[in-house]
Amino acid sequence: MVGCDPGTSSLDLLLLVDGGVAEQVRLTPDELRAEPARLLAVLNEWSPIDLIAGPSGYGLPLVRGEEFQETHLELMSLVRPDERDQRVGVAGFRSWVKRLVSSGLPVVFLPGGIHLPSIPPHRKVNAIDMGTADKVAVAALALWADRQTHGGTYTDSTFAVVELGSVFAAILVISKGQLVDASAGTRGPIGYRSSGLWDGETAYWRSPLGKNNLYRGGLLDLGPLGPDAFFESLTKHVAGLRAITPFDRIFLSGSAAAQSAVGALAYDALVPFGEVISLPTLRGSWVKHAAQGAALLADGLADGTHSDLVGTLRLRESGGTVLDYLGSE
Residue that wins the pLDDT comparison between 204 and 38: 38
Q: Tell whether the model's pLDDT for residue 4 goes beyond 80.
A: yes
Evaluate whether residue 324 is within a structural domain. Answer: no
Evaluate whether residue 325 is within a structural domain. Answer: no
Residue that wins the pLDDT comparison between 199 and 293: 293
pLDDT at 255: 93
Evaluate whether residue 127 is within a structural domain. Answer: yes
Mean pLDDT of 124-152: 96
If one counts the domains in the chain, the total is: 1
For 215-263, what is each residue's pLDDT tens digit? 889 999 999 999 999 999 999 999 999 999 999 999 999 999 999 999 9
For 94-125, what is each residue's pLDDT tens digit? 888 999 999 999 999 999 999 999 999 999 99
Evaluate whether residue 83 is within a structural domain. Answer: yes
pLDDT at 159: 98
**What mean pLDDT value characterizes the chain?**
93
Domain that holds residue 140: 2-317
Sorting pLDDT into bands at 50, 70 and 90, what band is 87? Answer: low
**pTM assigned to the model:** 0.94
Sorting pLDDT into bands at 50, 70 and 90, what band is 276? Answer: very high
Evaluate whether residue 329 is within a structural domain. Answer: no
For 184-195, what is each residue's pLDDT tens digit? 999 999 999 999
104: Cα within 13 Å, side-chain hemisphere: 3
Evaluate whether residue 207 is within a structural domain. Answer: yes
Sorting pLDDT into bands at 50, 70 and 90, what band is 214? Answer: confident
Highest mean pLDDT among 28-42, 61-75, 86-100: 61-75
pLDDT at 85: 64
pLDDT at 9: 78
Evaluate whether residue 133 is within a structural domain. Answer: yes
pLDDT at 90: 62
Mean pLDDT of 262-281: 98
pLDDT at 89: 54
pLDDT at 278: 97
Evaluate whether residue 326 is within a structural domain. Answer: no
